[in-house]
Chains A and B, each alone.
Chain A
């Protein structure tokens, strides 16, 4: 069955794989909007959206479960964004106004190319990553492409040609550039650790997971246990980079109406929305790969161990297909937990003031990440000697 698949020309396979990944990523990002509404309702003691139901489906027994979960509200919202009038205000710079939401989607969907999401054992017993492109510079590529996301916000604010979007865009560009520094510095200890002297030298995210899947107490420990400060700095910077509360300065409804997307409506607005959730999903994925063991189910328990233990009960467990699906499922569960955390924080913490955002970024997070880097450099040098 697999031989048949591998006989298809490479570029068709790549197109198929890319489409498959986007077909998974896109609905997750859309479902996040529903999850956001449900979780915010839960945290505030309200039921949340629970009424919408297509009349044709009302007779199906048990459908009320889906109704209470708000699944149909999601479909209705999606339909609304597609079908309602798409206004373009008269005072905007039309070309850039339309280009901005598209530019928001492109980096959000491109970063997924280098993010591995599972692994399987091939016939030779070697662990093979499930990834669209397993490149040597994985993490750098993620950072590089996702740093292009700032242009969507800048352009949206500038092309809207009105006061509040412009302020939102200016805030966004300053914030995104500031927090990129701490983010990049915070992951360096991880790569110092996995690039032991004599190794090949790599920034591949697959190798990061591999080095968290070694036997022994220290080998199996996730990096969140050995480098908690790095994980914390990365997480804070990730909140800022994805414009999530308490760092959602670019939107900041209470003082900027809607920030950079004030003038947007309907489908174009929903593109910004989906792009933000895509960034969240991929940011969470990178965070999990770096600090939470990727597709390994528990610390000190690797996916390979799990599958080999399962093989005693179910013989097909070591089959590449089963193992791949299991790995992806574990990874997705972790991503969902991480997204839940994002939303939990959003509906718990108040928004920072803008000067506080800049102070945290430059005066606290950046020195902290530099100190963290120096401390771990010395520690790792002493340990590896």
Chain B
């Protein structure tokens, strides 16, 4: 019952269902695999003591985002269909990606492990930011204030974009 077993279990679950997302022909099955994959990621967060991130992962992504995916998928009602043959650029890009992955894994295998960064003079264990609500909130409102604002602004722009694209502004009756 060591944490290692859970790590292997959940990473296998996450990676396996992530593969299923890409490989499933049925789009609903893909969306559900994505759900399982996200729950697996949340479980990995728990193993890293980042309980808050795990809960947020389940709440936001598994609970709402995938539900909306499913919602759309069901409305469009697609059943796979014929796949287009790959373009040349896609083949080159995937070959390059594979080469990078193999290089990275080979390097990792050769060196044995990823070096842990040294923290000068501190022997106390680091408190993970995602573990407690307080630490997380403080970081969010101090160190990462600017990125949070920028991301919020981007989301706002995306939302406005959706409204502009989806709403037809013909005639004044629509714009009330």
Chain B residue numbers with a CB within 8 Å of A272 are none
**How far is B77's CA from A166's CA once the two chains are assembled, in angstroms?**
11
| Among B56, B64, B67, residue most surrounded by chain A Cβ atoms (within 10 Å) | B67
Chain B residues with a Cβ under 8 A of chain A: 1, 28, 32, 35, 51-52, 55-56, 58-59, 62-64, 67-68, 70-71, 74-75, 132-134, 137
Chain A residue numbers with a CB within 8 Å of B75 are 170
**How far is B132's CA from A117's CA once the two chains are assembled, in angstroms?**
23
Nearest chain B CB to A304's CB is how many angstroms away? 27
Chain A residue numbers with a CB within 8 Å of B35 are 151
Do A150 and B63 touch across chains, with their CB atoms under 8 A apart?
A: yes
Chain A residues with a Cβ under 8 A of chain B: 11, 96, 135-137, 140-141, 143-145, 147-148, 150-151, 154-155, 158, 166, 169-170, 173-174, 176-177, 180, 200-203
**How far is B59's CA from A202's CA once the two chains are assembled, in angstroms?**
17
**How far is B112's CA from A323's CA once the two chains are assembled, in angstroms?**
56
Q: Report whether over half of chain B's contact residues are helix, strand or loop; otherwise say mixed.
A: helix
**How far is B58's CA from A200's CA once the two chains are assembled, in angstroms?**
24
Chain B residue numbers with a CB within 8 Å of A140 are 52, 55-56, 59
Chain B residue numbers with a CB within 8 Å of A173 are 67-68, 70-71
Do A150 and B67 touch across chains, with their CB atoms under 8 A apart?
A: yes
With A137-B52, A170-B71, A201-B134 as given contacts, are A180 and B58 in contact (CB-CB < 8 Å)?
no
Do B55 and A141 touch across chains, with their CB atoms under 8 A apart?
A: yes
**How far is B174's CA from A337's CA once the two chains are assembled, in angstroms?**
47
Nearest chain B CB to A158's CB is how many angstroms away? 5
Chain A residue numbers with a CB within 8 Å of B74 are 154, 158, 166, 169-170
Query: 14 interchain pairs (CB within 8 A)?
Result: A136-B52, A140-B59, A143-B59, A144-B56, A144-B62, A144-B63, A148-B63, A154-B70, A169-B74, A173-B70, A173-B71, A177-B68, A201-B133, A201-B134
**How far is B11's CA from A234's CA once the two chains are assembled, in angstroms?**
37
With A136-B51, A136-B133, A144-B55 as given contacts, are A154 and B63 in contact (CB-CB < 8 Å)?
no
